[in-house]
Structure 1
Amino acid sequence: MKRRNFIATTAAGAAGLATTSINAKEQKPIKDFELKHNVNHSVCQWCFDHLPLEEFLKVLNGLGIKAIDLIGPKDWSLLKKYDIHCSMCNGAEISLTEGWNDPQYHETLIKNYTDVIPKVAEAGYTNLICFSGNRRGMNDYVGLQNCVDGLAQIMPLAEEHGVVIQMELFNQVNHPDYMCDSSLWGVELCKRLGSDNFKLLFDIYHMQIQEGDIIRTIQNYHPYFGHYHTAGVPGRNEIDETQELYYPAIIKAILDTGFKGYVAQEFITTWDDKIEALKDGFMRCDV
C-alpha cells in the first residue's frame, strides 16, 4: 500500500472509531431492566449524591437493588425503612490519609472501631471499611507491621460480632502517598493478621491504574478479597465501551471464584440521566 493511501485509510478508520466512541456515550434508555440475580449488586451513594439519600433509596427499590455502600450509623434507620442492606459500612475511620499504618492514630482508631463494630452487628450488617493511611516517608514494611499491631487489637471484637474489617486498595494517581496501594502488600497484611474477619476491598478501578492484570489478580488472591468496587478506566466514569476494562469478563472471573459478597458500582457518571447510567452499569455486571 502506498504511504498516502495508507494515511488516508488510517484517517478514515480513526474517524470511524471516533464516531463509535461518540455514539457509545449516547444515552439509550434501558427499557427492559431485569437482573439475573447471579451477582449481589450494590452502589456507592456518594457517586449519586445529586439525590437526597431517601430519594436514592426509593430509586434502588424501584430497580430491585437491595444494597448500598459507605453509609454510617446515623442513616441506617433510613436504610431499614426501605429494606436496603448496608453492604459496606463506614463511620469508624478517621480519614483516608490518617490510618492504621501510623501508631499515633491507634488510640483513636481502636476507640472508634470498638464503638462501631457492635453497632454494625446489631444492625445486621457485616462489612466495615478501614484505611491504611499515607506513608509520609514511612517504610512500607514498618507501616505493614504498624497496621498489624493496631488492627490486632480490634480483631477479637470483630470476630466475636461476626464483622469483617475491610481495607480498601487505592492507586497513587488519585491518592498519592496512600500506603495500601498494592494487592501483595494487602495480602501480606491479611496473612499476618491471620483472621477470616479481615479482608481487602478490591477496587477494580484503582488496581487497574496501579498494577493492571485484574483477572489474574482476582484468580490468584480472591480468598483475601471481601468486596469489589467498579468504575471505568481512565476517568472513573461509566463502565461502558468508552473505557478500557471489559467488566463482563471481570465479573465472571469473580463469580468463578465462588464469591458470594457484593459488587458495588462506584463510577462518576457523565450522562445527563445518571440513573440510566447506573442501570447500564448494573446490566453490564449482571453476567
Structure 2
Amino acid sequence: MMKPENSRRTALKNIVVGTIALGASSALPGFAAIEVSTSAPLKGNINHAVCRWCFSSLDLDTLCKEAKNIGIKGIDLVGPKEWPTLKKYGLTSTMCNGAEINLVDGWNDTKFHETLIKNYSEMIPKVAAAGYKNLICFSGNRRGKDDETGWNNCVAGLKQIISIAEKHNVVLIMELLNSKVDHKDYQCDLTSWGVELAKRLGSENFKLLYDIYHMQIDEGNVIDTIKNNHQYIGHYHTAGVPGRNEIEDMQELYYPAIMKAIYETGFKGFVAQEFIPKKQDKIQSLKTAVKICDI
C-alpha cells in the first residue's frame, strides 16, 4: 500500500506534468487573449484614466494624444498649469493636485494645518471653476502619533475646509498608501483607517483613493475590501505587485476580477493606471493595461 505522503507527491507531480503539457499560453488564457485584442473598442463599463507621473518620459501633449486614441478619458495628478493641455484634447483632470504640501506632511499633524487650509481653500474653487471634481490629499506620516491622534487631527483640519468642498461640489480624496515598502510611516495605510476617518467626517465630499497596488501590499483581500467599503471609495489606482510595473501575467493580482468587483458596486468614477512601465513600448503597455481592466 502506498504511503499517504508518497501518494500526495505522486498526485502533485502528475498535476505539474499536466500543466506543462498544456503550455504556458493556455495556463493564462485571460491575459493571452487580451494581449492580441488591444485594437478592439472599449466596452464603457470602466472610466479609464492614467497617472501623469508614470509616463513622465513623454511630454504631456504626446501622452494626451495617445490616451485619447486608446479611449482614456482623463489624466490623474496634474495641476492648474497643465489643465489647458488636457482641455485641448478633450480630456478631464480626473485627480487634481497642487494643494498638498507633500506625501509626508499632511492633515494628521496640526502644525501643517495653517498651510494646508490656505492651500485647499484656494484650490477647491479653481478645481470647480475648471469643471473638475476630485482633489487629492494625504494623511501624512505618523511620526509617533497613534491612530486616535491621527484621526482627531485630520478631522480638526479637514472640517475647516469640507464646507468649501461641499459648496463647490469638489470631493477631497485621501490616498491609501502602503507603509511596508514605498511609504514608510504613512498613517492612512489601511482601508479601515481611512474608512474610520470618512465616518468621523460624515461628508460625501470626502472619499478614499483605493490604490490596489498599495493595499495588496499592506492588507490584501482586495475584492472583499472593495465590496465591503465601496461607499467610502471615490477613485482607484492600479499597478502590478510586486514591483509596481505592468499589470500583465507576471504579477500576483488578477485585474479583470478586481474590475468586475468594482463595476458591480455601481462605481461611476475613474480607474487610473499608475504602473511604471518597464517595457520599451510604454504606450503599448498602457493599451494592454486598459484592455485588461476593460471588463
Q: Same fold (TM over 0.5)?
A: yes
Look up the SS of the partner of 1:152 in the other structure. helix
1:32 offset after TM fit, Å? Answer: 2.2
Task: Supply the AA of the counterpart residue of 1:198.
Answer: F
In the TM superposition, what are the counterparts of 1:197-276 in structure 2 within 5 Å?
A: 197-276=205-284
1:268 offset after TM fit, Å? Answer: 0.9
Which consecutive unaligned segments of at least 5 residues does structure 1 have? Answer: none
Q: Is the 8 A contact 2:78 2:97 kept in 1?
A: yes
Per the alignment, do residues 165 and 11 of structure 1 end up closer, same or farther by CA in structure 2, a change over 3 Å counting? Answer: same
Per the alignment, do residues 185 and 199 of structure 1 end up closer, same or farther by CA in structure 2, a change over 3 Å counting? Answer: same
Per the alignment, do residues 123 and 242 of structure 1 end up closer, same or farther by CA in structure 2, a change over 3 Å counting? Answer: same
Aligned to 2:195: 187
In the TM superposition, what are the counterparts of 1:81-230 in structure 2 within 5 Å?
A: 81-172=88-179, 173-230=181-238
1:179 offset after TM fit, Å? Answer: 0.3
- Inter-partner Cα distance in structure 2 for 1:86 and 1:210: 28
Q: Is the 8 A contact 2:245 2:275 kept in 1?
A: yes
Identical residues among aligned pairs (%) = 59
Q: Is the 8 A contact 1:30 1:276 kept in 2?
A: no
Per the alignment, do residues 133 and 175 of structure 1 end up closer, same or farther by CA in structure 2, a change over 3 Å counting? Answer: same
In the TM superposition, what are the counterparts of 1:268-287 in structure 2 within 5 Å?
A: 268-287=276-295
Which consecutive unaligned segments of at least 5 residues does structure 2 have? Answer: 1-5
1:17 offset after TM fit, Å? Answer: 11
In the TM superposition, what are the counterparts of 1:57-76 in structure 2 within 5 Å?
A: 57-76=64-83
| 1:201-230 deviation per Cα after TM superposition (whole angstroms, max 9, x unaligned) | 000010010000011101111000000001
Q: Give structure 1 regions of 4+ aligned residues with deviation exceeding 2 angstroms.
A: 1-21, 27-33
Per the alignment, do residues 78 and 181 of structure 1 end up closer, same or farther by CA in structure 2, a change over 3 Å counting? Answer: same
- Inter-partner Cα distance in structure 1 for 2:178 and 2:137: 16
1:64 offset after TM fit, Å? Answer: 2.2
Normalising by structure 2, we get a TM-score of 0.89
- Inter-partner Cα distance in structure 2 for 1:42 and 1:119: 21
Q: Is the 8 A contact 1:128 1:164 kept in 2?
A: yes
Q: Is the 8 A contact 1:29 1:276 kept in 2?
A: no
Look up the SS of the partner of 2:160 in the other structure. coil
| Count of matched residue positions in the alignment of Structure 1 and Structure 2 | 286
C-alpha RMSD of the superposition: 2.5
Per the alignment, do residues 212 and 7 of structure 1 end up closer, same or farther by CA in structure 2, a change over 3 Å counting? Answer: closer
Per the alignment, do residues 6 and 129 of structure 1 end up closer, same or farther by CA in structure 2, a change over 3 Å counting? Answer: same
